Amino acid sequence: MNKPILFNPYIIALITLLPMTIVYFFIQRRKKIKLKTEKESYRKFKKEEVDMNNLMNSINKSSQLHRELSRKYHPDRFLDQEKKTFAEELMKEINGNKTDYNKLLDLKEKANHKLTNKT
């Protein structure tokens, strides 16, 4: 008597191994896609240029400039009420941008123009 096709050992092995191989290939594919996106993001980061001069100024000179501006433009140094309110707003901006050297330079120019002109 012939055995039914389902009880053939080759068919049983095929039925059990097929789902495992499909899962294995999907996992490998997902790993390749993840690796590919990581490489692309690294390449994008590598291509972006960093202004080293600005970075070094922000690291080294921003604290000195912040100290200088906070002393020079402190609101208690002004008697005129209009200048005093401007100095208060300026101090909020100065304290909010302690580490941004370029922004502090812009604030210094703005303050020099607004507070030191005798108009």
Residue 86 and residue 64 share a domain:
yes
Residue 57 and residue 105 share a domain:
yes
Nearest C-alpha neighbor of 62 from the set 92, 91, 103, 93: 103
Residue 106 and residue 67 share a domain:
yes
- Whether this prediction's pTM lies above 0.85 is answered by no
Contact 94, 66 (CB under 8 A): yes
Domain hosting residue 76, numbered range: 52-115
3-state helix, strand, coil in the chain (%, to 5): 80, 0, 20
Number of domains in the chain: 2
pLDDT at 18: 84
pLDDT at 99: 85
Residue 111 and residue 89 share a domain:
yes
pLDDT tens, N- to C-terminus, the chain (119 residues)? 566 666 777 777 778 888 888 888 888 888 777 777 777 766 666 666 667 777 787 778 888 999 999 999 999 998 989 999 999 999 999 999 888 888 999 999 999 988 876 54
